[in-house]
Amino acid sequence: MAILVDDGTRLLVQGITGREGRFHTGRMIESETKVVAGVTPGKGGGDFEGVPIFDTVHEAARETGANASVIFVPPPFAADAIFESLDSGLSTVCCITEGVPVHDMLKVSDYIKMTEATLIGPNCPGVLSPGKSNVSIMPGDIFLPGNVGVVSRSGTLTYQVVNELTQRGIGQSTAVGIGGDPIIGTDFIEILKKFEADPETGCAVMIGEIGGNAEQLAAEYVQREMQTPVVAYIAGFTAPEGKTMGHAGAIVSGGESTAEAKSEALRRAGIRAATNPSEVAELVAEALGKA
């Protein structure tokens, strides 16, 4: 079973005619994702690799039955693209765009609370359920269908951990890259809740990094609510204080935001925390009884 996207996902691509949109749409089609529409204002009536292009998300959803979107539009227009998807009733919205202004995301954050949709991102790799649907920029060939759910603030660490799992023959139910910006649509706890509710996810992997306290809040939730075993890894043990590392939200600004503090909070909650990405697969194997 998968969360957020599965073989019933009908995807539309916002910004399908741009460089990134064209490239990743091609890869998603190759992975047998049902890409049913593209949206680029002013280019409606055309197509990309047989995918019809519409001027608006509302029109595209009405004509094709799309229920999810992935966004590749430039940062100044990303919030409007998110609003358009939400207003069109799409259930899952993945915003890949990096550099979305924080004040724009404040408006999105308030608005999405009035909907039943799930927003992943921005500045994220998206969502991939192996063998079912790829709504992401993730390399599908490293994934293997299985029962381990992965949620991560880091795209590249997601790829590394998934590859380590696959190399050990441990498949994944769904991988979710939630993004590393200060304001994102969906946090660790929301995704962990979905994994806990999924009877076919037997273990969850949480990949965090320096900055903020999202990992500590997730640790409290896991200790209080989850029966599904969780393995974690926190990146950034050598990060200097006050310097942004990779993501806008990855900055050591106080004692609780360091990798050491986060890892200790995880361990206190009974979560096995790996000391490096390669160790994650070993701990997952032990949790699943496959060591």
Q: List residues with catalytic annotation.
A: 247
Contact 7, 132 (CB under 8 A): yes
Closest CA to 54 of 39, 64, 32: 39
Closest CA to 83 of 58, 59, 60, 102: 58
The residues near 177 (Cβ < 8 Å, ≥ 6 apart) are 120, 121, 124, 125, 126, 127, 136, 138, 152, 153, 154, 155, 158
What separation in angstroms does the CA of 244 have from each of 160, 166, 251, 252?
A: 22, 31, 5, 8
Cβ count within 10 A of residue 109: 13
Start-to-end CA distance of the chain, whole Å, equals: 23
Radius of gyration of the chain (CA): 18
Q: Rounded to the nearest 5°, which phi and psi values hold at 73?
A: -85, 160
